[in-house]
Amino acid sequence: MTVQDQLQRPLRDLRISVTDRCNFRCQYCMPAEIFGPDFAFLPSDKILSFEEIERLVKIFVGLGVRKIRITGGEPLLRRDLPQLIARINAVEGVEDIALTTNGTLLKKHAQALADAGVKRVSISLDSLDEARFFEMNGNRGKVKTVLEGIEKAAEAGLLVKINMVVQKGVNDADIVEMAKFFKEKQHILRYIEYMDVGNSNGWKLNDVVGKKEIVDMINAVAPLEAIAPNYKGEVATRFGYKDGNGEIGVISSVTDSFCSTCSRARISAEGKLYTCLFATEGTDLRELLRSDKTDEEITTSIARVWQNRTDRYSDERTEETVNNRKKAKIEMSHIGG
Ligand code: SAM
Ligand code: SF4
Ligand code: SF4
């Protein structure tokens, strides 16, 4: 069975957050003033177990999902994560398992993750400057550690991409430096426009450095040309270096949104299903999983949610829609980007 939403978009990708905790406090995601020592993270019995996640993956595959992305919080803080990956990898119909991580624990876990079935890993790194990076991640992590994690992931045979969130006046001075560094290292770097996810980061349109600006800056020192997407609905717009050596991507959720091809569902660590990154409400799958409902009944409930989906938040976003929003959005650290 496959399902389509109200805008004829199929359900193809599932992003699973395996923890709401993180060892970083990136200002744009989990600012330390809000996610402080007294912040109440989820207790372990409220978080989906590996069995529950595996059951959901089977159900979602039955509705058309082919790609799984594991995220968080910081997913590598979830104990025995490779065991979960191996379970997901064994589900018939899963074609691709990817992971998004801040990279700090990757040196230790890269090989086990690859052995368990992860194919691709997106590693977040916002600057190569130790002082700037430290400030951005809430004084928690070093560039050196992340770079070591990147090396280990590549050695383990994982396909590595680097994610850089660009904030005006914070790290936009690093755009070109990052491009040069990862061109040399032959890793694809993807620039992410700073988004108004959650309610904690005080987002303003003025803080966004748009796709055009980013590409122009790099193009001035290393000429670029647009290249075709790898597949329909690819989130990043691709640009190849004209010298034939490497490429970058830009995820332009703000200046050039891509809702019309969005086939992504998200499950938070406590088992809520969200049909958009900017959702205010989710569907409680944990309750269904812990009831006496059969797989068929849960499948029907999820299908109904997807069939009713009309989300196109980024297509409609303006500074007014952001500021006038009445309901609180779900935080990024809950559903993992
Ligand atoms: N902790 C992992 C990490 O940082 O890669 C996984 C979860 S994190 C929420 C997923 C991605 O969302 C990261 O690449 C992060 O940089 C990005 N992100 C977080 N807040 C964002 C924001 N306000 N705008 C754009 N991207 C953001
Ligand atoms: Fe943690 Fe990732 Fe959010 Fe940074 S972006 S605070 S590393 S979850
Ligand atoms: Fe998908 Fe929502 Fe992002 Fe649009 S705003 S691309 S619907 S997650």
State residue 86's pLDDT score: 98
pLDDT of residue 141: 96
**pLDDT at position 233:** 86
Secondary structure letter of residue 45 according to DSSP: G
pLDDT given for residue 326 in this prediction: 66
Contact call for residues 193 and 251 (beta carbons, < 8 A): yes
For residue 254, the CA-to-ligand 1 centroid distance in Å is 15
Count of domains observed in the chain: 1
Q: How remote is the CA of residue 166 from the centroid of ligand 2, in Å?
A: 14
User: Which atom of ligand 3 is found nearest the CA of 279?
Assistant: 2
Q: Which spans in 143-189 are helix H? A: 143-155, 175-185
DSSP 52-88: HHHHHHHHHHHTT--EEEEESS-GGGSTTHHHHHHHH
Ligand 3 binding pocket (C-beta < 6 A) is 258-259, 262, 264, 276-278, 311-314
Ligand 2 site residues, Cβ closer than 6 angstroms: 22, 24-26, 29-30, 72-74, 102, 124, 333
The reported pTM is: 0.96
pLDDT at 321: 77
Copy the structure tokens of residue 145.
């550690």
In a domain, residue 299? The reply is yes
Ligand 1 in contact with 165 (CB < 6 A)? yes
pLDDT at 1: 86
Q: Would residue 118 count as lying in a domain?
A: yes
Asked if residue 235 is part of any domain, the answer here is no
* Ligand 2 atom at minimal distance to the Cα of residue 22: 1
Q: Give the closest residue (by CA) to ligand 1 atom 12.
A: 337
Q: How far is the centre of ligand 3, averaged over its atoms, from the C-alpha of 205 (Å)? A: 17
Which pLDDT does position 329 carry in this prediction?
77
Tokens representing 134 are: 């430290």
In sequence order, which residues have a C-beta less than 8 Å from that of residue 99 and are 6 or more positions away?
Answer: 69, 70, 71, 75, 113, 118, 120, 121, 122
Ligand 2 atom with the smallest distance to the CA of 102 is 7
In 137-294, DSSP assigns E strands to 159-166, 188-193, 224-227, 237-241, 247-251, 264-267, 272-274, 283-284
Q: Is the CB of 27 under 6 A from ligand 1?
A: no
Q: Is residue 63 part of a domain?
A: yes
Nearest to 187 by CA among 171, 210, 214, 164: 164
List, in sequence order, every residue forming a beta bridge with 192; answer none if it has no partner. 165, 251
Q: How far apart are alpha carbons 324 and 320 in whole angstroms?
A: 6
Cβ(18) – ligand 1 distance below 6 Å? no
Q: What is the pLDDT along the chain (337 residues), one digit of tens a residue?
A: 899 999 999 999 999 999 999 999 999 999 999 999 999 999 999 999 999 999 999 999 999 999 999 999 999 999 999 999 999 999 999 999 999 999 999 999 999 999 999 999 999 999 999 999 999 999 999 999 999 999 999 999 999 999 999 999 999 999 999 999 999 999 999 999 999 887 777 888 999 999 999 999 999 999 999 999 999 889 999 999 999 999 999 999 999 999 999 999 999 999 999 999 999 899 999 999 999 999 999 999 999 999 999 999 999 887 777 777 767 777 777 767 7
Within-domain flag for 177: no
Identify whether 231 is part of a domain.
no
CATH code of 29's domain: 3.20.20.70
Answer whether residue 170 is part of any domain: no
Residue with tokens 């590409």: 215
Kindly give the number of the ligand 2 atom that is closest to the alpha carbon of 137.
Answer: 4
The answer to whether residue 48 sits within a structural domain is: yes
Ligand at shortest distance from the CA of 13? 3
Residue 328: give the domain boundaries.
13-161+184-189+261-335
What is the pLDDT, as a whole number, of residue 242? Answer: 98
